[in-house]
């Protein structure tokens, strides 16, 4: 996959052969936002999954569209720039790219703010993997309202579990624990590490221009882009 991807980005066969493996892997990650191993893992799962909306047959055409979607998430070019990069008409490039992103997003069945929209994410304390996702919501919606109205509080109660959250979630002490002055040293350290795990995941999401610049498309496409990035971040944890 790495050589094919770099050829799509204009690297010559001679340049690829002369470079060391680490150099080519770095170039791949620079262009597509993930390592070659992660990309292969995602692409393979898309062929093996039983999720109809995520499934692809594989082959040269599907690989090209998959790489287009990854490149778009990484760099968020204008449609004109994307069209010139992959030598497609702008409308065709747009359609195929967003279709590829939507398929990556559907693998999600197997506090980040952008474009006036917000998501609620729940991260495992064990391995920093994503356990819960709800959104998008208007950015002005406060955290405790989202917790109460969008299902996470009910799910915590059903499981008889608690979550560690920042102070924006104060108000549900039976199911949400936040940092406070009554914590002993051990509790403070544990909660701090839990919140840092969340930041690790958030930082993975921000390593792509599509989620770190002004978003030019509608809310549906923002949802597709955000949740596709969550899927890819999962593979990198």
Is the pLDDT at 186 greater than 90? The verdict is yes
Question: The domain 112-236 is classified under which CATH number: 3.30.420, 3.30.2000, 2.60.40, 1.20.120?
Answer: 3.30.420
Q: Answer yes or no: are the C-beta atoms of 56 and 46 closer than 8 Å.
A: yes
Report the alpha-carbon distance of residue 51 to residue 157 in Å, rounded: 29
CATH 3.30.420, the chain: domain bounds: 112-236
Q: In the prediction, which pLDDT does 208 show?
A: 74
Q: Which two tokens stand for residue 198?
A: 């969340």
Q: Which two tokens stand for residue 175?
A: 């199911």
Q: In the prediction, which pLDDT does 43 show?
A: 92
pLDDT digits (tens, 9 = 90+) for 52-104: 888 999 998 899 889 989 888 888 888 778 777 766 677 778 888 899 999 99
Cβ-based neighbour number of residue 18 at 10 Å: 10
Cβ-based neighbour number of residue 91 at 10 Å: 10
**Which helix (H) or strand (E) segment is 163 a member of?**
strand 163-165
Q: Which two tokens stand for residue 218?
A: 């509608």
Specify the pTM.
Answer: 0.64
**Average pLDDT in the 210-225 region?**
81
Omega of the bond prior to 136 within 30 degrees of 0, cis?
yes
pLDDT band (50, 70, 90) for residue 237: low
What is the full DSSP assignment across 6-18?
A: HHHTT--HHHHHH
pLDDT digits (tens, 9 = 90+) for 10-27: 899 999 999 999 999 999
pLDDT digits (tens, 9 = 90+) for 123-170: 988 888 888 999 888 877 888 999 999 999 999 999 999 999 988 899
């Amino acid at each position: 996959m790495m050589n094919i991807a770099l050829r799509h980005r204009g690297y010559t066969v001679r340049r690829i052969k002369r470079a060391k493996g680490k150099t080519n892997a770095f170039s791949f990650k620079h262009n597509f936002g993930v390592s070659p191993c992660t990309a292969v893992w995602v692409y393979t799962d898309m062929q093996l999954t039983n999720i109809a909306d995520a499934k692809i047959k594989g082959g040269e055409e599907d690989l090209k569209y998959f790489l287009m979607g990854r490149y778009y998430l990484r760099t968020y070019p204008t449609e004109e720039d994307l069209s010139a990069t992959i030598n497609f008409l702008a409308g065709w490039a747009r359609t195929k790219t967003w279709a590829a992103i939507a398929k990556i997003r559907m693998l999600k069945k197997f506090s980040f703010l952008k474009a006036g929209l917000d998501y609620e994410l729940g991260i495992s304390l064990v391995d920093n993997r994503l356990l819960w996702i709800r959104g998008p919501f208007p950015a002005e919606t406060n955290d405790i309202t989202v917790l109460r109205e969008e299902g996470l509080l009910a799910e915590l109660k059903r499981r008889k579990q608690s979550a560690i959250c920042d102070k924006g979630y104060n108000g549900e002490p039976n199911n949400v624990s936040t940092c406070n002055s009554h914590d002993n040293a051990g509790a403070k350290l544990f909660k701090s590490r839990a919140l840092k795990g969340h930041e690790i995941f958030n930082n993975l999401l921000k390593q792509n221009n599509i989620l770190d610049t002004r978003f030019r498309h509608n809310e549906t496409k923002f949802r597709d882009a955000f949740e596709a990035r969550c899927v890819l971040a999962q593979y990198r944890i």
